[in-house]
Amino acid sequence: MAYRASFSEEDLHCPVCFELFTNPVVLECSHSFCKTCIDSCWNGQFKRICPVCRTPCLSERPPASLVLRNIVESFRVGQRPSLERTEQSREESQERESTQSPEERCTVHRKRFFFFCEDDQEALCMVCQRSKRHKDHQIIPLEEAAQELKKKVRLSLRPLKEDLVTFQTQKEECLRTTRLIKEQTKLTRRLIKKDFEQLHHFLRLEEAARISMLEDEAEMKSEIIQEKLEDLSNKIVSFSHTIQNKETDLEREDIQFLQAYKSYTDSVPYNPQDSNVLVADSLIDVAKHLGNLKFKVWEKMLGQVQYSPIIMDPNTAAKWLKLSEDLTSVHYGELQSDIPDNPERFDLCVCVLGNETLGAGVYCWEVEVGNKTKWDLGVVMESVSHQGILNVNSECGFWALALREGGQYSASTKPWTTLYVKRKPHRIRVCLNNNNKEISFYDPLDMTHIYTFSRLPTKKLIPFFSPCVSDQGRNTEPLRVVPLKVAVTITSELAD
């Protein structure tokens, strides 16, 4: 049939009684109701409004909807050919209503929800919306309330989604940090084992050398004693033979004894007291081998190690910077995107800080700059920002010496001070005197003074290094902190 293509059974039900329309009428808002249902809704009401959309109605007698009535009649004829079919359908309809979700119907009147009370924030059926409880409340159609609330929820979803993205980003940052911690642990463990293996190797060689010296001395002195033993053995045999002969002669007759005695006077007697068996230094020089052994080995070990006055902190290095394994040199490289954006890391400024804050006292270190065309080095305040584009000048907490293209040296005052340097230094000596609140830069070749910042703040300062960008391969050399020579001074702690 034709109506099956345009209407569903739900469209032919009155929104008040939920039955097929009986004598349907249509309001100005285009909503249709059974005539008796709309009369019941308007009975005793001062204002006539649509029960569905709450639109005011001017007509006291809404016109009949002949088209809708004909469609309903056709539906009844086509879908309910017999009473049995009608009863069966009604039972099925009741069964559907009984299986309908309780949330879709009023728990008091068992009617379908059509309205929403904005004051109480609850759905209402036709009966509820006419009750005294909601008499002066702001009531709107359910669909309108749903749309408004959905719009509000959609608006609230935007910041939630933004927060979700933030949390996901932070989670990924934490995962990157976890991965870096594992990598740092693995690398640091390997370098620790490498350094200790070098020390162990040195100690094993030193141990072997000292054992060898001990054994050589023992062998030499044992040979001397062995020679003495052989000589004494020969003398013992000789003297034993002489004694035996003389004792035999004593048993002879007088004339024979006198003849033998003549030979005795010709021999020169040997006095054992005239020769010492043990001479000086016959024993092992134990004191030489064991005296201050650990100190002597440690002192010798100093020649195998280096001491750097400044160690760079890799956790502050910008992602473009590559540090050496011993953390004493830095150069510009490729972006390392897997490194996390931890708060202490510089995100845009191509620089790295030292790992220790320098307080009161005097500090000096040298930095090898080589043939670089650009660099910055000096000290910064502990509180300097690590994020965004930084203004490298003394007013912002940077006290640095800088080199730019064309061999232009500058001091990071505000504005920068151009400096004249007669000879391009390959090393820069930095001398920080926190007691006098000043920092000076020198050419260590002849200690030529380059520049001094005075009146530094009393706040703690941190060494600062920037190798700058590679400048298309012209500025790839690293900045390297020069290690210091280590000397041992022995002092007595005994009181005068």
- pLDDT of amino acid 1: 40
- Tokens 């005793």 belong to residue: 44
Of the pLDDT bands very low, low, confident and very high (cuts 50, 70, 90), residue 2 is: very low
Q: What is the pLDDT of residues 415-437, one digit of tens each?
A: 999 999 989 999 999 999 999 99
- Using the Cα atoms of residue 424, residue 428, residue 432 and residue 436 in order, give the sign of their dihedral: negative
* The pair of three-digit structure tokens given for residue 57, joined into one six-digit string: 């109605």
* More confident site: 412 or 40: 412
Residue 6 confidence class, pLDDT cut points 50, 70, 90? low
Q: Dihedral of the CA atoms 255, 257, 263, 264 (nearest 10)?
A: -140
pLDDT band at 491 (very low <50, low <70, confident <90, very high): confident
Give per-residue pLDDT as tens, 355-382: 999 988 999 999 999 999 999 999 999 9
Residue 50, class by beta-carbon neighbours within 10 Å (0-12 exposed, 13-18 middle, 19+ buried)?
buried
**401 vs 398: CA distance, rounded Å:** 10
**DSSP code of residue 369:** -
Q: What percent of the chain is modeled with pLDDT above 90? A: 39
Task: Please indicate whether residue 10 or residue 396 has the higher confidence score (pLDDT).
Answer: 396
Q: What is the pLDDT of residue 271?
A: 63
**pLDDT bracket for residue 5 (50, 70, 90):** very low
Residue type, 173: E
pLDDT at 144 over 70: yes
Give the residue, 183 or 306, on which the prediction is more confident: 183
Q: If you average pLDDT over every residue of the chain, what do you get?
A: 85
Report the alpha-carbon distance of residue 59 to residue 52 in Å, rounded: 17
pLDDT of 370 reads: 94
pLDDT of amino acid 270: 61
Among 28-42, 64-78, 394-408, the range of highest mean pLDDT: 394-408
Confidence at residue 394, expressed as pLDDT on a 0 to 100 scale: 93
Who has greater pLDDT, 303 or 384? 384
Residue type, 315: N
Name the residue among 344, 400, 397, 408 with its Cα closest to residue 367.
400
The model's pTM? 0.62
Domain limits, the chain? 3-145, 146-269+279-304, 314-481
Give the model's pLDDT for residue 67. Answer: 85
Check whether 20 has a pLDDT greater than 50: yes
Q: Highest mean pLDDT range out of 47-51, 132-136, 465-469? A: 465-469
Residue 403 near residue 409 (C-beta atoms within 8 A) = yes
Query: What's the token pair of residue 92?
Result: 């099925």
| Nearest-angstrom CA–CA distance, 139 and 133 | 12
SS3 141: strand
Write out the DSSP string of 160-197.
Answer: HHHHHHHHHHHHHHHHHHHHHHHHHHHHHHHHHHHHHH
Sheet containing strand 139-141, strands side by side? 122-125, 113-117, 139-141
What's residue 238's pLDDT?
87
**Would you say how long the chain is, in residues?**
496
φ and ψ at residue 306, rounded to 5 degrees: -125, 150
Q: Which of 77-86, 111-120, 271-280, 282-291 has the lowest mean pLDDT?
A: 77-86
Query: Phi-psi region for residue 307, left (φ > 0), alpha (ψ -120 to 50) or beta?
Result: beta
- pLDDT band at residue 82, thresholds of 50, 70 and 90? very low
**Averaged over 266-278, what is the pLDDT?**
60
Number of Cβ within 10 Å of residue 365's Cβ equals 19
Residue 356 has what pLDDT? 93
Q: Report the greatest alpha carbon distance in the chain.
A: 189
Determine the topology of domain 314-481 in CATH. Answer: Jelly Rolls (2.60.120)
User: Measuring CA to CA, which residue among 344, 362, 361 is closest to residue 353?
Assistant: 344
Total H helices, total E strands in the chain? 8, 18
Higher pLDDT, 86 or 259: 259
DSSP element (H, E) containing 437: none
DSSP 8-state code for residue 440: E
The class that CATH gives domain 3-145 is alpha beta
Average pLDDT over residues 60-86: 74
For 196-237, what is each residue's pLDDT tens digit?
A: 998 999 999 999 999 999 999 999 999 988 988 998 899 889
Q: How confident is the model at residue 257 (pLDDT cuts 50, 70, 90)?
A: confident
Bridge partners (DSSP) of residue 391 are: none
Report for 45-54, 319-328, 339-348: range of highest mean pLDDT: 319-328
What is the DSSP code string of 234-288?
A: HHHHHHHHHHHHHHHHTTS-HHHHHHHHHHHHHSPPP-GGGS-SSPTT-S--HHH
Q: What's the DSSP call for residue 456?
A: -
pLDDT confidence bin for 265, thresholds 50/70/90: low
96 or 257: which carries more pLDDT confidence? Answer: 257
Predicted confidence band of residue 104 (pLDDT cuts 50, 70, 90)? confident
Residue located via tokens 């069964």: 95
> Distance between CA atoms of 487 and 475, rounded to whole angstroms?
35
